[in-house]
Structure 1
Amino acid sequence: MTTRDLTDDLEAAMPLAFTDFDPAATNRRAGLVIVDEVNGFATVGAGALAPPVPNEQVSTMVSETVILARHFTAQGWPILAFQDTHIPGKPEPPYPPHCEAGTGEEELVPELKWLEQDSNTTLVRKDCINGFIGAMRADGSNAVADWVTENGITDLLVVGICTDICVMDFVLTSLSARNHDMMPGLKDIYVYGKGCSTFDLPRETAEQIGYGAAAAHPQEPTHYMGLYFMASRGAQLVNKVVLPA
């Protein structure tokens, strides 16, 4: 069985439902969340967890994110971009060292570097998989919750990497935080499928490099599973974002 066969079986057994998303909808206020589109995850050869060769799913994610970010900032709509950033030498099991501060892996990919100077963008560095947890401050406040409230956001549109890891953790926790009234006014969380990606580690490669078969992470089915679990918890999956002309 190929990974395509496996994905086809998942689609047959657990179909996904997609919708269009219009960030300019009347009486709504959209915010774009970009999860970890940094060199260490999305620039070819940039680190242990970066794609070793060009990857279509990853490159599509970046190009779709650039389109969305350009449109959001042109309309004056808020953007929040996470940057996975770790203290050098402090491990994050089960992953090898990655995105350590000062290495450049923790910086936004070149196509999104302009966000650092964008007045509509809030940058949040996080030291763990879950961006909502990583946004907790020492005083107990949360940078994501404050951003949502201060901008009057009713809808989050989420893109980024990895679909089934950092993106999913953020979305699932944000859904719970919404239901716990930590973000008053937030109504829905949308995940743009083509704006997300994950890494590819076939079983044979995992075994060859000594990680073992259990570390296998085929890209297509794990991306699909991430979308499925987010939708099963209440996120809305998006296959088209309606943008102003």
Structure 2
Amino acid sequence: MAKALIIVDVQNDFCEGGSLAVTGGADLATEITELLSEATDFDFIVATQDWHIDPGTHFSETPDYVTSWPVHCVAGSKGAALHRNLDTEDIDAYFRKGKFDAAYSGFDGLLAPEDEVAVGEREAHESVDEDGDAPTSLDDWLRENDVDDVVIVGIATDHCVRATALDAINAGYNTTVLRDYVAGVDDDASEEALEELEDAGVELK
């Protein structure tokens, strides 16, 4: 029975200075780094990334900030890289999502190639690996590593954190969201999202 920390979308475009910045994103990256230095009970640490190539109506020149958004986290761009305040040394795997759709949940993510650096420019992940097999999903990877418990932190509370936590609990994982280690787009919507998660069986700490 193993426990994994899932770090959701702590990327440059979601932090101050990015194209879709969340207030407090850079500070949150620092706080998660401090959590990583103190925590001893995680068997695995994984990170998710928005990794958009052509996500259709998810990108808009006139976004409604509900289902459509400004261009962000384009695959291989600086904006898609993990924020420099996040220490990636102990991250075991990276999962990219949203190449051709919105993909809010980390469980839509596919495993990134092992030989690629944790931050900076990357090539877009192919639909099959070099052996011709389908790429590994986050759910596949967690199950292969006998993970039963997941703890979720990251950006944004009311969007990708919410979606990832709902998918985790629906997939049968014991799921926890750390309230002090998430940041949201909208304060009211974030509180509503946390209430929804608690009602769904997610533990809030």
What TM-score do the two structures reach when normalised by structure 2? 0.74
CA contact (8 A) 2:26 2:85 kept: no
CA 1:120/1:108 → structure 2, altered by over 3 Å: closer, same or farther?
A: closer
Cα distance in structure 1, aligned partners of 2:53 and 2:177:
29
Does the Cα contact within 8 Å between 1:77 and 1:120 map onto a contact in 2?
Answer: no
Q: Among residues 220, 223, 230, which one is paired with 2:187 in the alignment?
A: 220
Residues 190, 235 of structure 1: 8 Å contact kept:
yes
Give the CA deviation at 1:162. Answer: 0.8
1:163 deviation in Å?
0.5
Which aligned pairs between 1:36-47 and structure 2 lie closer than 5 A?
36-42=9-15, 44-47=16-19
- For the 8 Å contact 1:32–1:69, the answer to whether it is kept is no
1:232 corresponds to 2:203? no
User: 1:194 and 2:194 equivalent?
Assistant: no
SS in structure 2 opposite 1:102? Answer: coil
Runs of 5+ consecutive residues of structure 2 not aligned to the other structure: 59-66, 112-126
Question: Structure 1's 140 and 177: CA in aligned 2 closer, same or farther, altered over 3 A?
Answer: farther
Alignment correspondent of 1:81: 47
Counterparts in 2 of 1:140 and 1:150: CA distance versus 1, 3 Å: same
Would the aligned equivalents of 2:14 and 2:25 in 1 still touch at CA under 8 Å? no
Q: Which runs of 5+ in 1 are unaligned?
A: 1-27, 179-185, 200-218, 239-245
| CA distance, structure 2, for counterparts of residue 193 and residue 76 of structure 1 | 17
Q: Distance in 1 between matches of 2:48 and 2:18?
A: 18
Aligned to 2:74: 100
SS of match in other structure, 2:85: helix
User: Higher RCO, 1 or 2 (CA under 8 Å, sep at least 6)?
Assistant: 1
Give the Å deviation of 1:165: 0.6
Q: Deviations over 1:158-208 (max 9, x none)?
A: 001111111111111121122xxxxxxx4x100000111112xxxxxxxxx
Higher helix share: 1
Identity of aligned residues (%): 28
Report the secondary structure of 1:124's partner residue: strand
Distance 1:164 1:193 in 2: 12
Name the counterpart of 2:83. Answer: 109
77 and 120 in structure 1: CA distance in 2 versus 1, 3 angstrom threshold: farther
Aligned residues: 174
- TM-score w.r.t. length of structure 1: 0.63
What's the C-alpha RMSD, in Å, of the aligned pairs?
Answer: 2.5
- C-alpha separation in 1, matches of 2:26 and 2:168: 26
**CA, structure 1 residues 29+102, in 2 after alignment: closer, same or farther (shift >3 Å)?**
closer
Structure with larger Rg: 1
1:126 aligns with 2:97: yes
In the other structure, the counterpart of 1:11 is none
Deviations 1:95-120 (A, max 9, x none): 121111232110000012x41xx365
Name the SS for the 1:87 alignment partner.
coil
